[in-house]
């Protein structure tokens, strides 16, 4: 049995930051993961009970929201998990409005906006952060640690105080009032993902790169053909996390978007909340807002479900490939 290739972190020195290990070159025997087996029926039942209990706690808020979204206005907060009266027309009311209380909103348009802005944000940040992270992981160059320190430092200043200066920059570029500020800064990588992806790249044995270079690859091909496929799980995590981040962001659409048709879902729901509030003459039709919230969460669930499967399988496949 040859020694595992593991995390030979030739370039990880300096800043002294951690490296999650890459699966070993030697495929483990049998199943692709193996833990000491649970002790008998009692152990297994206890384990299942624990799992069910935890799952129940975690999905309760979402179940509550789904149930509330199907109730008529008077019953939204009655704390019953199964609605007493079913009112699925709430979902239609989002689009067509409640006559005389609120006009319908272009939810479909918001949905579409959120989707393509999310995709753009996720794709751009994944690719750009990977490029930058690879630089920090593989190359040796002066000021490398200083720059990486800068990367970390950008996460340490609360965004509230850079919000206005950043807005002014976009303003100078005449891009306020458009959707560009919502995703375009991802073209320049994001500190969090640079950190994450750097760790992954650090785990790739340097020998692989040396071999590629000797075969005549230049740096770019080496990056694209060797490093990227190996880091696929991390790239998927990055894409999914950033998609979620963009999907649920409220503050950027709030200050950059001016036209209703440009809104993303959180921005639209914020508006609905204001319109349906009681002092504006409405009755507090929260059931519509909650229905909108549920609709907004569904695509995220699908994307995460698909993404996590790919990501976990990616880890498994790497283990087998070696």
Partner 1 sequence: MATATATAPGPRVRARRWFAGFASRETWAAFAFLSPWLFGFVVFTAGPMIASLILSFTDYSVIQTTHNVGWDNYNRLVHDPKVTTAMKTTLIYTAMVVPAHVVFSLGLAMVLARVGRAAGFFRTAFYLPVMTPAVAVGVLYLLMFNGDYGLINAGLHFFGIHGPYWTTDPNWVKPSLVIMHLWKVGASVVILLAALMAVPTYLYEASAMDGASKWRRFRDVTLPMISPAIFFIVIINTIAALQTFDEVYTAFFNASTPYGTDASLFYVIYLFQEAFVNFHMGYASALAWGLFLVIAVITAIQVIGSRRFVYYEGNKR
Partner 2 sequence: MQGWRRSLAFTSLIAALGVLAFTATLASAHSTTKKAGTLNIMGFGTGDDVAESRAAIATAAVGGDVKRPSGAFNDQQFLAAVASGNPPDLVYLDRQKVGTYAAKGAFQPLTSCISSQKINTKQYRIPALNEITYKRKIYGIPEFYDVRTILVDNNVLDMAGVKLSGLDTSNWPKLLATAKKLVKIDSSGKVTRIGFDPKIPEFFPLWAKANGVDILSKDGLTPHLNDPKAVAALAYAVSLVNAQGGWDKFKSFRDTWDFFGANNEIAADQVGAFPMEQWYYNVLAGSSPKVKITALQFRNKKRQPINYETGSAWAIPKGSKNPAAACTWMKTMTSTSTWLAAAKNRASIRKAKNQPYTGISTGNAVADQAIYKQTYTSINPYFDQAVKKVLEVQRFSFNVPASPASAEFKQAWNDAINRVLAGQQTPKQALDQAQKESVAAIKTATK
Residue 231 touches partner 2, criterion: CB under 8 A: no
- Please, what's the b/e burial string for 218-239 (b: 16 or more CB within 10 A of its CB; e: otherwise)? eeeebbeebbbebbbbbbbbbb
> Residue 97: enclosing H or E segment and its boundaries?
strand 97-98
Q: Do you know the residue count of the chain?
A: 322
Residue 39 touches partner 2, criterion: CB under 8 A: no
Query: In the complex with partner 1, which residue's Cβ is closer, 70 or 194?
Result: 194
Residue 41 tokens read as 């029926």
Binds partner 2 (CB under 8 A): choice among 6, 177, 205, 299: 177
Residue 255 touches partner 1, criterion: CB under 8 A: no
Query: In the complex with partner 2, which residue's Cβ is closer, 138 or 183?
Result: 183
Residue 32's CB is within 10 A of a number of other CB atoms, namely 15
Query: In the complex with partner 1, which residue's Cβ is closer, 10 or 123?
Result: 10
Cβ contacts of 219 within 8 Å, gap of 6 or more? none
| Binding map of partner 1 across residues 14-53, x = CB under 8 A, - = no contact | xxxxxxxxxxx-x-xx--xxxxx-x--------x--xx--
Binds partner 1 (CB under 8 A): choice among 82, 140, 216, 259: 140
> Residue 184: what are its φ and ψ, rounded to 5°?
-65, -25
Q: Which does 225 bind (CB under 5 to 8 A by kind): partner 1, partner 2, none?
A: partner 2
Residues 64-123 that bind partner 1 (CB under 8 A): 64-65, 79
Residues 293-322 that bind partner 1 (CB under 8 A): 293, 296-297, 300-301, 304-305, 308-309, 311-312, 315-316, 319
Residue 63 tokens read as 């179940």
Q: Which long-range contacts (CB under 8 A, 24 or more apart) does 136-141 make?
A: 136/194, 136/198, 136/201, 137/11, 137/12, 137/198, 137/201, 137/202, 137/204, 138/11, 138/201, 138/206, 138/209, 138/223, 138/227, 139/11, 140/11
Residue 150 touches partner 1, criterion: CB under 8 A: yes
Residues 95-134 that bind partner 2 (CB under 8 A): 100-103, 105, 113, 116-117, 119-120, 123-124
Q: Which does 106 bind (CB under 5 to 8 A by kind): partner 2, partner 1, none?
A: none
Binds partner 1 (CB under 8 A): choice among 100, 156, 214, 215: 156
Cβ contacts of 189 within 8 Å, gap of 6 or more? 125, 128, 129, 131, 132, 133
Cα–Cα distance between 276 and 281 in angstroms, integer?
A: 8
Cα–Cα distance between 18 and 23 in angstroms, integer?
A: 16
Binds partner 2 (CB under 8 A): choice among 89, 128, 178, 245: 178
Residue 13 touches partner 1, criterion: CB under 8 A: yes
Residues that bind partner 2 (CB under 8 A): 73-78, 100-103, 105, 113, 116-117, 119-120, 123-124, 163-164, 167-168, 171, 174, 176-180, 183, 224-225, 229, 251, 254-255, 257-260, 262-263, 267-268, 270-271, 274-275, 278-284, 286
């Amino acid at each position: 049995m040859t020694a595992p290739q593991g995390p030979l972190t030739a370039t990880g020195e300096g800043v002294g930051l951690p490296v999650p290990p890459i699966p070993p070159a030697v495929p483990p025997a049998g199943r692709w993961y193996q833990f000491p087996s649970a002790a008998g029926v009692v152990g297994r039942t206890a384990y299942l009970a624990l799992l069910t209990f935890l799952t129940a706690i975690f999905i309760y808020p979402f179940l509550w929201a789904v149930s509330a979204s199907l109730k008529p206005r008077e019953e939204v907060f009655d704390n019953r998990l199964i609605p007493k009266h079913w009112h699925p027309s709430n979902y239609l009311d989002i689009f067509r409005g409640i006559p005389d209380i609120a006009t319908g909103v272009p939810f479909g348009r918001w949905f579409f906006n959120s989707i393509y802005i999310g995709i753009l944000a996720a794709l751009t940040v994944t690719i750009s952060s990977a490029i930058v992270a690879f630089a920090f992981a593989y190359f040796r160059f002066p000021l490398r640690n200083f720059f990486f320190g800068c990367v970390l430092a950008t996460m340490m200043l609360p965004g509230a105080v850079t919000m206005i200066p950043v807005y002014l920059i976009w303003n100078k570029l005449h891009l306020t009032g458009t959707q560009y500020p919502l995703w375009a800064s991802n073209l320049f990588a994001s500190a969090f993902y640079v950190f994450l992806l750097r760790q992954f790249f650090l785990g790739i044995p340097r020998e692989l790169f040396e071999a590629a270079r000797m075969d005549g690859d230049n740096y770019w091909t080496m990056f694209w053909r060797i490093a990227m496929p190996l880091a696929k799980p991390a790239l998927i995590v990055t894409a999914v996390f950033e998609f979620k981040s963009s999907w649920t962001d409220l503050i950027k659409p709030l200050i950059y978007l001016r036209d209703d048709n440009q809104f993303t879902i959180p921005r639209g729901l914020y508006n609905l909340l204001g319109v349906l509030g009681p002092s504006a003459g409405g009755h507090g039709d929260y059931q519509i807002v909650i229905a909108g919230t549920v609709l907004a969460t569904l695509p995220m669930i699908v994307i995460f479900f698909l993404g996590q499967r790919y990501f976990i399988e990616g880890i498994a496949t790497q283990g087998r490939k070696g």
